[in-house]
Structure 1
């Protein structure tokens, strides 16, 4: 009987098993059906069930449609005779329905058995306004509860359900009514289920939570370069020469450096002084380096940098400038519908993104420091906008939680740097460890051990609420049996309306540390107060410093300054300062700067100090990124005149100087540049600062090359240019304008993004080449033209060419020395294109004979 009931006709089509379509064949993934209503009388039509948008869910509708015996609850039989020819059509329909119900009364026991069963439906599902792709499997219990498979539950990013169905057809499903606040709407006619889940039902969506330490390292070729500088000056009948040289060799992950300086001696003659020599091995992905040779030690919160010769290993966040080591604010919010969010920092839009429904976090905001307001604007699919304002305080002294910054250095202290080539003093061992404890707290430990002294200390930096940053350090030392100690506290209160900085440090008479070797300059106390009140086009600031020494007179200094910009026309600043060293001296001054054109400005200044008034005028321009001129000219009332003229060329920079003071004149000139070896090519270039690239634009000369929209030079006769001053480890966009290329030039790409390592160079080819269209006339083994329609394979390319009439084959880009293979008249042939058309006949077909090959 159950099988018979399934086979009867249903008003919406025959009932089918959950895995079958209406025609009885297995249901495909895109098949959407009502599903099987177990045991339902196939001839029963229930009023109110199946209407579009009906609020009555199907099981309840079925119970209302069933009679007490499990059959149809049809209307009462009318009193009109059954066989009356005048019976109205509506009564006829009622009789037909009643007969159908009577016909299936035998199915009553099967229907009653199905009432306690669950079923699976295949429906269109929409969650929080977003329709899911394809039909979904949805469960419905006999008492009207709805469920979804746990896999779909996870895919929707809902929080883990409290319990799953363990048996029956809905095993592995989770009931939707265990989600507080969920709203459901079932449309039987459209076979769809709409779910509106609360935002707190979703797992938090994280934006920008990728591991930045996995960034690709900077590229590096293998080569070398030598920076040089030479200057000659003449004054008082004497000519002096100075110069310097820096030698750098590089390979992937390795950089070798050496530098020296030459100067004339006052008593005649000259000598070279070695400056730095060392090698560095870099691990950019892990942001670590190993240095051997001359180097500068780390400082930390309370230490001092010093030059040593030895070995050092530690972190170097500068290897990845896109990596932000300090803790950034995290934006948190929630969206009921999928939304677009915009982030504004102090009313300036900095980024945007898409978020799905549910709570979200954005913890990789653009790098910013100081104090201000973050404004989050959330716009959902319905166009409704919500704004969240969150204050922030960011400092580069606070490391991200769990991030470690360390350094271990050992060697000997460098003495008389710049005067002696190899004078080293005491042995030193230094260790420093910084760690981000939390977003609001960073701790530091530092140890220094020298031949005759030892120093140890610690430091803390922590955020005070959302308005300030505190610092505190403490250190103790021992030298020659004498103990010392030092400590400091500080408070920074940045803000948009005003900023405050307070510092206070104290140290005992015998406190010793690396980099503080002059007993006469030993500080007893240092106090500092700084206040800044900015406005839209300037600001006013006050700085006060007081310092006391153990073996010298105290010093006090303060300065009050103010500045204002009047549009783009001019910039005005004034200051008043007082310095109390051995004597008290007060100075008042004013400066006026007038921009004239890009890279050029005029200025005027006047000041009065110790009863004397001075003033000056100046006209200054700076060098452009590419070739060009620059000048500097200023004159002062105290008989001082200075002028400089500079020229930036393709391979060097030149300058000439004139300085006249108190009737004495100095005249000088200088040149600086670099000699570069990369990719087997030796080139002259401007002085290399940072990183560089050797860029080839085919063999086309005179093509302007741009870096980030600024022209930096033109290619030489062989189409090559050396680009210096590239930003290490960052993306440098190098490109050319296609309008600057000749008409017969083709290219693979017009721009490249280069990320060279520090102090290294890379070779880049834009793939530009000049071509000449060529028509070939292919001749077969017998000397006749290859038949039209013959298909030939192009060697080295996954491409084919079809021969035209009279054996002609047109190649728009010339393609010199290209080889074609194929069968001609049943014989294998190879055709080799010539390097260039015949001289004087660029448009004439070039005959190419078949070279027979073995099959």
Structure 2
């Protein structure tokens, strides 16, 4: 353990000698400064307790700066020169990071340096420097650790919070000669009024057919949500859902949910980091490569080190550490690694707690809930980088269910093993569920197997509401990647009580064709029916960035069809027009044409669909989606908002171009406002202004900001700016000649003896002023004295105004 003196020691040898102790003058060859790591500006004294040890008779006491294996340690240490040999206490040597046979039992006794196996010492008396060189096994310092820096999560600026009311809508209507239908989905959000967010969503339907009309409106979800970013916890009161694992089911409830939410800190890495350990005898540079791509470069000191890297790969990969010492010699260390997003970092937990009433007939009835309350709890915890354990429990007054599971990484190449076991008790019957799975992935191959089995008595809360569980679910998948070609095969089996067994097999092929074309083939077979073979062939080719053509052929149980299509998508950032045309031939001949438009206030589409054959029918349809926002005293129409958005304000300045992540997303309106949707909640969203494209007669306080909105809410992103009135004044003296360049200028009420000049006169008597006071008078230094000039009144409030012939008298 290293002890330090209260005083700090300068790295200069002369200052050390003057401040701390007399030094010997034993001649020795100079030691060159280490090229690996720079010397620190201050030095720590190792093992100050040595001052209490007696100095043997005839010994010379030295305080020397120490380098170890050509690496500057930044430490001073106390040595004794006795009979021409350097000595130090065992405590001092251990403080320098050395170990040797018997060092742990040596206490603080003096040790001659030349008695330590493999140690070489070079003493430079002029620089008061001691260079030690030891073998790698003699270094006892703790392992040097390098890893990605844990940057603090982006913070929501309190000044950006603003109350608002948002209505999302999605409308659809269609009709033919006899039938009409209109449906709509609406979501109302209230944010910024106190903590949390209120939301309510409904769906409405209206149909009309000969002799029958049907209209209804159903409430979907009503909830209040509070996000606590620092603790990564979300609280939801109202309609929500329970937590679930791979071997459990989520259930819609009306009640309260408290859960860990990693989305509140999206930059935090939750999966285990890839760790690589090594050692270096000299100061070295370590370059880390994963699958041939360099991930980091670190400067390491002699000794052991560990580098943690973000999990750049999913599945199996290969890593190399290239260790290059200060002499230019390199060596490569290879590692196999495996990464899985399903595992949690050691010590990290994911959990949720819920209580309430199970939701019934969701989407069909507005207020249908179970009679008995339920409760649920889910937990995942990273025990270490190879093991994540899970647990889940739920129950009502009639049922109790609980289980546990684990996800285990099988070494560095073996994939991930999933295991689970659960039991339930309902109406006096005990049920059991058990499952297992294994998955392995690499850049070329993917394999996955899973099975979940239940006996007839096993039940969960959802099964009490007419949602029965499958008795058996088996899945298998194998895939291979051959460059541009992807091959896959899968198998699925599901057994349900009182229902026929279902088994399916699937083969798929996808091929990235030259010139960005794409081809895929899919073959599906119901193994329980001999005549149920489905085949689908699809081809597409882009013609430009937004236009493409495609064709598909299908075969299913004796029916065949061919479809061709051409479409042009809409540029989402800038909006515009899009269209789609499709024609199908075969057993179900049809044709369809559609146009759509995306603007700043929403999106709409309209089209017609023709069904051929006997009794052919034409059906027209139209849709519209968008939002209506009330915020900052203004009513806006905007695109539909699924997550977060910002209201950009330029303080009333119109026609200012706004960029999101360097992409132009619009210009401010006559009120200096622009709505920017599609922001990422709890993340840094870079909003900026191109000053070269901004109006020339405005002053910008800043041209860029990082907008951090809360989830599903709006924020105010303000760019402070103001209009500027600029005057270019042509000044002449009483003789009509332009004033001399460099003449200082003050406002009339300023004291030239104490106040600095406001500006100076330019060439040809030109003076440039921004936002001068109305009817301002100027005092201008001339030939050791002053003259005064009165600026004429200007009616303009902004822009550049030229004034000529202003006389200074």
**TM over 0.5, shorter chain:** yes
Matched, 1:318 2:282: no
| Residues 237-275 of structure 1 deviation map (CA, whole Å, 9 limit, x = unaligned) | 333222222111223851111111111145425332111
> Are 2:682 and 1:743 aligned?
no
Counterpart for residue 719 of structure 1: 672
Matched with 1:256 is 198
Structure 1 match to 2:523 = 576
CA spacing shift, 1:202–1:836, aligned 2, 3 Å = farther
Query: What's the offset of the Cα at 1:723?
Result: 0.9
- Name the TM-score, length of structure 1 as normaliser: 0.76
Identify if the C-alpha distance between structure 1 residues 848 and 280 changes in structure 2 by more than 3 Å, giving closer, same or farther.
farther
Deviation at 1:431, TM superposition (A): 1.3
Normalised to the residue count of structure 2, the TM-score between the two structures is 0.80
**CA displacement at 1:794 relative to structure 2:** 13
1:843 aligns with 2:802: yes
User: Conserved in 2, the CA contact under 8 Å of 1:521 and 1:552?
Assistant: no
* Distance in structure 1 (CA, Å) of the matches to 2:378 and 2:749: 63
Q: Look up the SS of the partner of 1:721 in the other structure.
A: strand
541-550 vs 759-768, which deviates more? Answer: 759-768
Matched, 1:499 2:446: yes
Structure 2 counterparts to residues 466-481 of structure 1, below 5 A:
466=412, 467-481=414-428
Which of 562, 575, 579 is the aligned partner of 1:631? 579
Corresponding position of 2:323: 378
1:355-504 matches, cutoff 5 A: 355-366=300-311, 368-425=313-370, 426-466=372-412, 467-504=414-451
- The aligned counterpart of 1:293 is 238
Determine the C-alpha separation between the residues in 2 that align with 1:574 and 1:688. 36
Asked whether 1:141 is paired with 2:86, we answer: no
Q: How many residue pairs align between the two structures?
A: 735
The structure-2 alpha-carbon separation of the partners of 1:119 and 1:244, relative to structure 1 and needing over 3 Å to count, comes to same
Contact 2:291/2:317, CA 8 A, preserved across alignment: yes
What's 1:222 paired with?
Answer: 162
Q: Which has the larger radius of gyration?
A: 1
Does the 8 Å CA contact 1:33/1:122 hold for their aligned counterparts?
A: no
Q: How many angstroms does 1:292 deviate by?
A: 0.3
Match among 748, 753, 757 for residue 802 of structure 1: 757
Deviations 1:463-507 (A, max 9, x none): 122212111111112222333211111111222332211112211
Indicate conservation of the 8 Å contact 2:360/2:465, yes or no.
Answer: no
Instruction: Provide the rounded CA distance (Å) in 1 between the counterparts of 2:718 and 2:749.
Output: 25
Which 10-residue stretch deviates more, 502-511 or 564-573? 564-573
Match of 1:203 among 131, 142, 149: 142
Once residues 354 and 586 of structure 1 are traced to their aligned partners in structure 2, the CA distance between those partners, rounded to angstroms, is 61
The 1-side partners of 2:501 and 2:749 are apart by 86
Alpha-carbon distance between aligned partners in 2 of 1:117 and 1:271, rounded to the nearest angstrom: 102
Mark the CA change 1:310 to 1:691 in structure 2 (over 3 Å): closer, same or farther.
Answer: same
Asked if the contact 2:179/2:207 (under 8 Å) is kept, the reply is no
Question: What's 2:184 paired with?
Answer: 243
- Unmatched runs of 5 consecutive residues or more in structure 2: 1-8, 33-54, 732-738, 782-787
State the shift of 1:767 in Å: 3.5
Provide the rounded CA distance (Å) in 2 between the counterparts of 1:699 and 1:290.
38
For 2:748 and 2:346, the matched residues in 1 are separated by 61
Cα-to-partner distance string for 1:587-632 (whole Å, 9 max, x where unaligned): 2332212122223322111122333331111223333232223333
Deviations 1:29-85, CA, capped at 9 Å, x for gaps: 697999543xx9xxxxx9xx455569xxxxxxxxxxxxxxxxxxxxxxxxxxxxxxx
CA distance in structure 1 between the partners assigned to 2:356 and 2:805 by the alignment: 73
Q: Which has the higher strand share?
A: 2
> Which segments of 5 or more consecutive residues in structure 1 lack a partner in the other structure?
1-18, 41-45, 55-112, 779-784, 825-830, 850-855
Mapped partners of 1:182, 1:700: distance in 2: 73
The match for 1:75 is: none
Contact 1:774/1:845 (8 A) holds in 2 = no
Rounded Cα–Cα distance in structure 2 between residues aligned with 1:793 and 1:50:
75
Give the whole-Å Cα distance in 1 for the aligned partners of 2:677 and 2:214: 35
Instruction: Give SS of 2:274's match.
Output: coil
2:363 match: secondary structure: coil
Kept in 2, the 8 Å contact 1:814–1:836? The answer is no
Give the whole-Å Cα distance in 1 for the aligned partners of 2:757 and 2:326.
53
Matches of 2:191 and 2:91, distance apart in 1: 56
Residue 483 (structure 2) aligns with: 536
Deviates more, 1:373-382 or 1:307-316: 373-382
How far has the Cα of 1:424 moved from its partner?
Answer: 0.7
| C-alpha distance in 2 between matches for 1:748 and 1:229 | 39
Distance 1:809 1:320, change over 3 A: farther
How far is 1:529 from its partner?
1.3
Q: Secondary structure at the match of 2:554?
A: strand
Distance 1:20 1:672, change over 3 A: closer
Give the match for residue 653 of structure 1: 603
Q: Distance in 2 between matches of 1:680 and 1:489?
A: 57
